[in-house]
Amino acid sequence: MPFVQGHLRNEPVAVSIRSECAHCARPLEIEIDSQLHYRVAESAAPLVFVPLVDFAKLKDPSIINVF
């Protein structure tokens, strides 16, 4: 995700993710900033997961490889 790159570069970054509910196909939008604060447009209540990764000890090329 771009906010990880912004965090590592110490630059503010925000990302807007547009998707839809897998169950009912209702559109939803989530905004995430470089401080990992998120906002959800509309009345959606998606589950949002922020992985806790110690970047100082991260040896993998990506946090995806950690999982």
Q: What is the pLDDT of residues 18-67, one digit of tens each?
A: 888 878 888 888 888 877 788 887 676 767 666 777 878 888 887 777 76
* Distance separating alpha carbons of residues 65 and 58, to the nearest angstrom: 10
Give the pLDDT confidence score for residue 2 in this predicted structure: 55
Reported as a pLDDT band with limits 50, 70 and 90, residue 15 is: confident
Query: CB-based contacts of 40: which residues, under 8 Å, 6+ apart?
Result: 28, 29, 30, 31, 46
Q: What is the CA radius of gyration of the chain?
A: 14
pTM: 0.50
Domain ranges of the chain: 1-43
* Distance separating alpha carbons of residues 38 and 22, to the nearest angstrom: 20
* Distance separating alpha carbons of residues 62 and 43, to the nearest angstrom: 33
What's the chain's length in residues?
67
